[in-house]
Amino acid sequence: MPGPRGKTLKAKKPKPIVNVHSVARIPSEEFIGLVDDIEGAEGWNTRVKVLCEFLQLPDLSRRSGLKKVHANFNEVYHNIDDVYVANIRNEKITGAIIGIYTKMCADAILRDKLFQKGLVSKITPLTKIPSTRYLALRALTTVTHHGGVDIRKEISLESPSLLKIIQENPDDLRAAEMAISTMAHAIGAAINQEDSPAPKYIKAVNVKILIPVVIDFMRKPGVTIQLLHHGLELLTHPVLHCWSECKANAPLQNLLVACLRSADLTVRVSALGGLLRLEALSSEEDQRHFDPHKLIAAIERRFPDHLVDLLTDYGSMRCDTFLTMTSTADNQKAMMKCAQDKDLYGLGLKLAELITRTEFSIAEGGFQMQDPRTGQIEINRDIGLPFIMWSDALPHCARAIRAKGRPGEEDLADMITAKFFIIRSRIPDAIEAAKRGLQRNPKFAYFYYVITLGKDHYEGLRSAKKGLKCPKMTPFVRFGLLHRAVELAGNLGVCRIQESSPGDRKYDEGVAFLMSAMEDAKVYAMEAPPDARHMKNVLYWYICLTLTIKGPETPADLQELQVAFKKLGHADEFSILLGTIPPKTQLRLTQQNIVKRYTTAVQEWKDLVARFDEVTMDERPISLEKAEDDLAAWLDDLHLDQGEEGDHPQRCSHPRISPNTVALYRCSWCGNPSAALRKCSGCEKARYCDGGCQKSHWSEHKATCRT
């Protein structure tokens, strides 16, 4: 590689690289001149350039140069390794070689090949030597930033050594920044996953030491914005699988809560994501079953006056309690009538009406009789119907409706079929039935609701938004769609923003998800019955999203959320009265943890959080040797040759973000947030999920479209 040289080389250099057979391995006696040149060179940048020229390496800052290394990798590596082995005790030469290897790691294939050759084992010893520490830490930072999962996992095993280095050098903020950055990328790959990570990775993290050390460095004056961001990222990695240790650390939880007041949306979402994961493995499942006997007992006991007033003000007959009670009774009456007239078609029409009234309208039960010999109440299995348990009636009713062949009633048959599959927890089959129905009738809202229950969150959110635009639906279906829209968009938004960077299309899409969830949560909280089963869950999201989206605009005393807190208290009371203690779900625990700590945490960490909000370009640079800065710039520098395309390696940056482009990622008809919307070819302003949304919107849009 071209560049300044020291003394004239005394040893013969290898021939230019042509193919894998063109050059023999370099004999050790030829390194005398190289050693002299390296010793005479000032700074790592110059040493690296001297070594590149000695080895006649192509320009590693260009893709064309990396391609030449690809073509002759074995020979290039053997030549470099000969120098490494022959000069293993020469810190300047081994350090320069690590610099070259690090540069090659910008290419994923070369990185993997070097990893297989033991790259990590060559870098880590240099972190313990003062003269090569910065170079080695810089190498680890670069490798983990560009590296794949396997190499990051291996580097995560070096966390104890990295922690020891920064503990022994408490005033070396430069070393701390690179070590924390390395651990943030490496530990995330090793343990931040759904499945339990291997014990060796958990052991290497050593959470009880890691957390206080990282927090201590984040508190220090003069730390860079990069250290703060990577420190926050690192602190959020162990919260999932090391939740017990993290919950025992109050400063960690308070810091995450306080970060919800940062002016940087990236910081706020990262903190919320960490707080959510902290509760994931210690939480309970949400309520999935309904006991009509508990409902009847609650009504017989009477509700407290203040709850009765709430139901009355909303309209008692529109509330969930009344609708569930009457639906249960109507279901029993319909079954008894069917036992007498054997009319499965008539039963099916009644069940179709009940399905869209409440979630638990189809209560499980059976036809009972008293055994004349024992006097015990038993299920009558000889009633003359093709089913014994009431829920088993649904498929028979669906077939009876289809057999009639009356226009419009096939939708009811598909809805009954889907409901049967939901009761049996066969969600994929329910979704298949719903999709069949939508092919025939895309304006049937219940089918969209069924699809929201699936594992595909993107499809679910799209269906929730489309369903909400249907012209006719019952309140139960509408609020069910709103609830799913809040949960799906909230989860997608938090994940999307944490997985991308400001300025990325996916990041902006994540902002749109959060804004959508916030809007729908507000509508649900204002318009749903006070005893709605999902009121608690929606309010959990509403509280968390309000703090995350508004950030420092939220008063520290949380006065703005007092109405939501009061509604949540009432929702808890209704749940308890109806026989269900509010489950300690992940969202409930997260919301409670945030609210409990918020005021104290904001005061405790306000100075550190303010540091997050300083613009990166105004940061006071850490004092370093000019040569260190030059090498860092060289390692970051990669040019695309003319005509080439590819991803340019970028340094981590976390600028502030303003959610002012949300409309660009929302369907103009249904409001579904997505980065895959298609523009109207006429005005090129309206955006749609698909042709269906565009067609539905045309009656409104044609007045403003220029076509």
CB 10 within 8 A of CB 33: yes
CB 97 within 8 A of CB 42: no
CB 358 within 8 A of CB 532: no
Question: Block means of pLDDT (10 residues each) for the chain, length 707 residues?
Answer: 39 41 45 79 85 89 86 91 89 90 84 90 92 90 84 94 96 95 94 86 95 96 92 96 96 97 93 96 84 75 91 94 90 91 95 93 69 61 81 94 93 96 95 96 96 94 93 96 96 92 85 92 96 95 96 91 96 90 95 97 94 56 42 55 42 40 64 72 79 80 74
Rounded-to-integer distance, Cα 671 and Cα 448, Å: 15
Residue 387: both structure tokens together? 């089913």
Query: Quick one: pLDDT at residue 8?
Result: 38
3-state class (DSSP) for residue 389: strand
Residue 664: both structure tokens together? 């660009």
Residue 277: both structure tokens together? 């994961």
Q: Which long-range contacts (CB under 8 A, 24 or more apart) does 335-340 make?
A: 335/365, 335/367, 335/390, 335/393, 338/385, 338/393, 339/367, 339/383, 339/384, 339/385
Residue 366 sits at φ, ψ, to 5 deg, of -160, 170
Rounded-to-integer distance, Cα 27 and Cα 374, Å: 100
Query: Quick one: pLDDT at residue 704?
Result: 82
Taking each helix axis from N to C terminus, what angle separates 535-550 and 562-577, rounded to the nearest 10 degrees? Answer: 160
Query: Quick one: pLDDT at residue 652?
Result: 39
CA nearest neighbour of 82 among 71, 93, 66, 70: 93
Q: What is the pTM of this model?
A: 0.83
Task: Count the helix, strand and coil residues of the chain and give each as a percent rounded to the nearest 5.
Answer: 65, 0, 35
> CA 9 → CA 13, 34, 42, distances in Å?
8, 6, 16
CB 266 within 8 A of CB 506: no
Where is 112: in which H helix or E strand? helix 108-116
Query: Quick one: pLDDT at residue 648?
Result: 38
Torsion angle of the four alpha carbons 506, 511, 514, 520, in this order, in degrees rounded to the nearest 10: -110
Query: Quick one: pLDDT at residue 142?
Result: 85
Which residues have CB under 8 Å from 530's CB, separation 6+? 307, 310, 311, 314, 319, 567, 570, 571, 574
Where is 423: in which H helix or E strand? helix 410-423
